[in-house]
């Protein structure tokens, strides 16, 4: 269900998230996130996530009416006559001018992630990954290659930051998220369950990705853009492996590295 509000101002209290789009950390504290673009908003409306509101130019309303009508909650839809008016209200240029506010779901527990997943399990864990764009790309890779749960460590950014949601192209709505209070401890719990924890580490001593066993239950761990995986998290892993590359290249961007690792996991499992 939905009900329409025609607006020419963002002064309404309920529109505060759109006025403060450049403050996603404040949004996270409120338990909400902003979705941008036709595809991401469409995927949000198709998901099980709670939708708080939608804001769009009037010409896009007919495209979204079937999805809005199918929702169980009553969603306020704020409509402006033209996209350029919306851009003036927001304060910066937007490609399509389509946005929505969603509610961040409660993270699932590690036990839930294990119970929901099928063998061979494929998890991904993040240690101190700060860049929202990189995080969004990594999430998209996770969904593309069949990752069953994402463990976001206590030092990592949230995958529900605005730019992370946008760069994931809305695939974050399909990926179960675990937020363990101590990632190293969570990895040790996985190892106790027979799940091999493999650190994606560019300085691994001579051990390369193809030598790692990704065909069976495993969790691949990725670290920060600048410093890689922290010593305590690295110590909690079974092994560290690297993508082979010439000595003139230190490492790949974490999003690119994730694609390589997850492709190799899929290849070993006979999916490619």
For residue 160 the two structure tokens come to 């529900």
Same domain, 138 and 196: yes
According to the model, what pLDDT value does residue 204 have? Answer: 61
Boundary-marking domain end, from 72, 103, 134: 103
Return d(Cα 155, Cα 9) in angstroms, integer: 38
Same domain, 233 and 170: yes
Same domain, 118 and 44: no
Boundary-marking domain end, from 103, 119, 149: 103
According to the model, what pLDDT value does residue 21 have? Answer: 82
153-211 pLDDT per residue, tens: 999 999 999 999 999 999 999 999 999 999 999 999 999 999 999 999 877 666 899 99
Same domain, 37 and 145: no
pLDDT in tens, the chain (272 residues): 899 999 887 788 998 998 888 788 899 999 999 999 999 999 999 999 999 999 999 989 999 999 999 999 999 999 987 666 666 666 656 667 899 999 999 999 999 999 999 999 999 999 999 999 999 999 999 999 999 999 999 999 999 999 999 999 999 999 999 999 999 999 999 999 999 999 998 776 668 999 999 999 999 999 987 788 999 999 999 999 999 888 888 778 999 999 999 999 999 998 76
SS (H, E, C) the chain: CEEEEECCCCCCHHHHHHHCCCCHHHHHHHCEEEEECHHHHHHHHHCCCCEEEEEEEHHHHHHHHHHHHHCCCCEEEEEECCHHHHHHHHCCCCCCCCEEEEECCCCECHHHHHHHCCCCCEEEEECCCCCHHHHHHHHHHHHHCCCCEEEECCCCCCCCCHHHHHHCCCHHHHCCEECCCCHHHHHHHHHHCCCEEEEECCCCCCCEHHHCCCCCCEEEEECECCCECCHHHHHCCCEEEECCCCCCCCCCCHHHHHHHHHHHHHHHCCCC
Boundary-marking domain end, from 103, 137, 155: 103
Same domain, 260 and 178: yes
According to the model, what pLDDT value does residue 144 have? Answer: 97
The CATH number given to whatever domain includes residue 12 is: 3.30.1330.30
- Domain total for the chain? 2
Same domain, 53 and 143: no
Tokens 């580490």 — which residue?
201
Same domain, 214 and 247: yes
Return d(Cα 199, Cα 126) in angstroms, integer: 10
Same domain, 139 and 248: yes
Find the domain containing 263 and state its range: 110-268
Residue 227 CB burial class (10 angstroms; 0-12, 13-18, ≥19)? exposed
Same domain, 10 and 77: yes
Tokens 């790309």 — which residue?
137
Same domain, 240 and 115: yes
The CATH number given to whatever domain includes residue 137 is: 3.40.1280.10
Same domain, 195 and 257: yes
Same domain, 99 and 170: no
Give the sheet arrangement for strand 51-57, strand by strand.
2-6, 75-80, 51-57, 99-103, 32-36
13-22 pLDDT per residue, tens: 998 998 888 7
């Amino acid at each position: 269900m939905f009900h329409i509000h025609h607006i020419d101002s963002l002064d309404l209290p309920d529109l505060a998230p759109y006025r403060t789009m450049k403050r996603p950390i404040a949004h996270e504290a409120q338990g909400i996130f902003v979705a941008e673009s036709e595809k991401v908003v469409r995927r949000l409306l198709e998901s099980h996530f709670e939708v708080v509101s939608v804001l769009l130019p009037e010409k896009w309303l007919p495209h979204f009416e079937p999805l809005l009508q199918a929702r169980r909650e009553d969603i306020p839809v704020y409509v402006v006559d033209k996209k350029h008016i919306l851009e003036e209200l927001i304060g910066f240029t937007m490609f399509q001018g389509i946005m929505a506010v969603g509610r961040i779901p409660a993270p699932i527990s590690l036990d839930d992630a294990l119970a929901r997943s099928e063998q061979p399990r494929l998890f991904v864990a993040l240690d101190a990954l700060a860049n929202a764009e990189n995080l969004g790309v990594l999430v998209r890779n996770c969904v593309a290659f069949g990752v069953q749960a994402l463990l976001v460590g206590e030092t990592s950014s949230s995958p529900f930051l605005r730019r992370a949601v946008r760069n994931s192209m809305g695939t974050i709505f399909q990926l179960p998220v675990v937020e363990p209070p101590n990632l190293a401890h969570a990895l040790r719990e996985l190892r106790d369950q027979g799940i091999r924890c493999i650190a994606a580490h560019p300085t691994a001593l001579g051990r390369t990705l193809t030598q790692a066993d990704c065909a069976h239950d495993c969790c691949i761990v990725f670290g920060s853009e600048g410093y890689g995986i922290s010593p305590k998290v690295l110590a909690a892993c079974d092994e560290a492996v690297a993508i082979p590359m010439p000595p003139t290249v230190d490492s790949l961007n974490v999003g690119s590295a994730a694609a390589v690792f997850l492709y190799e996991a899929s290849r070993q499992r006979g999916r490619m």
